[in-house]
Chain A
Amino acid sequence: DVKVTQSSRYLVKRTGEKVFLECVQDMDHENMFWYRQDPGLGLRLIYFSYDVKMKEKGDIPEGYSVSREKKERFSLILESASTNQTSMYLCASSPGGITLTGELFFGEGSRLTVL
């Protein structure tokens, strides 16, 4: 089974702190994604990576950056956390390449609270 692991289930940070959310997948997937989930807004794409060191902005990239130095790891970085970034963050991966099934494999989520 594909496993997508997010390093922290729950985090509490203070305004202005730098926050790292880590995600690791074990199926050699090419694509990795960071989504933000908020009640009434569904999931919104923050960033997408289709290869090592390759990234593409999603719909709401402001205030976020990402890093993908190794194929299996995709990190989301909040350079200076703000209260409006309090949310559930979901990491996902997909095989990519010619295998475009549309099936994303999700982690359990990281619930971030910024005080």
Chain B
Amino acid sequence: AQTVTQSQPEMSVQEAETVTLSCTYDTSESDYYLFWYKQPPSRQMILVIRQEAYKQQNATENRFSVNFQKAAKSFSLKISDSQLGDAAMYFCAYRRGNTDKLIFGTGTRLQVFP
């Protein structure tokens, strides 16, 4: 069975600095997708970034980028120029190639200090 592990329950960063959230996963599949979702306090969870396993190039979305290491089964999220609005729970998620059922990690709570 696939598993997703986030080993950092909490992280903090100063505004304008860079922070990296870690995620590892375990799978025997070759076709899969990885995601980072953001859950702001008392607000809906939203998709931050998506990575297809067959793509070697790391995904980027504005200030958000990933470091996808397929052999190591590692998928970290880098947030550059952190802003107060980045404070949230961040969930790493895994999806097999042919289904929208996601397996989520336990989450990392990110605090951003002014």
Q: Which residues of A contact B (CB under 8 A)?
A: 4, 31, 33, 35, 40-45, 48, 58, 90, 92, 94, 96, 100-104, 106-109
Contact = CB atoms under 8 A, between A and B. Distances in A.
Contact of A94 (B33, B44, B93, B100): B100
B43 A108 contact: yes
Nearest to B97: A100
Give the size range of B's interface with the partner.
Answer: 20 to 34
B106 A45 contact: no
Interface stretch (B45-53, B70-78, B79-87): B45-53
Nearest to B94: A102
B100 A102 contact: yes
* A-B CB proximity, top 6 nearest: A43-B104, A42-B106, A106-B45, A94-B100, A102-B95, A42-B104
B39 to A, nearest CB: 8
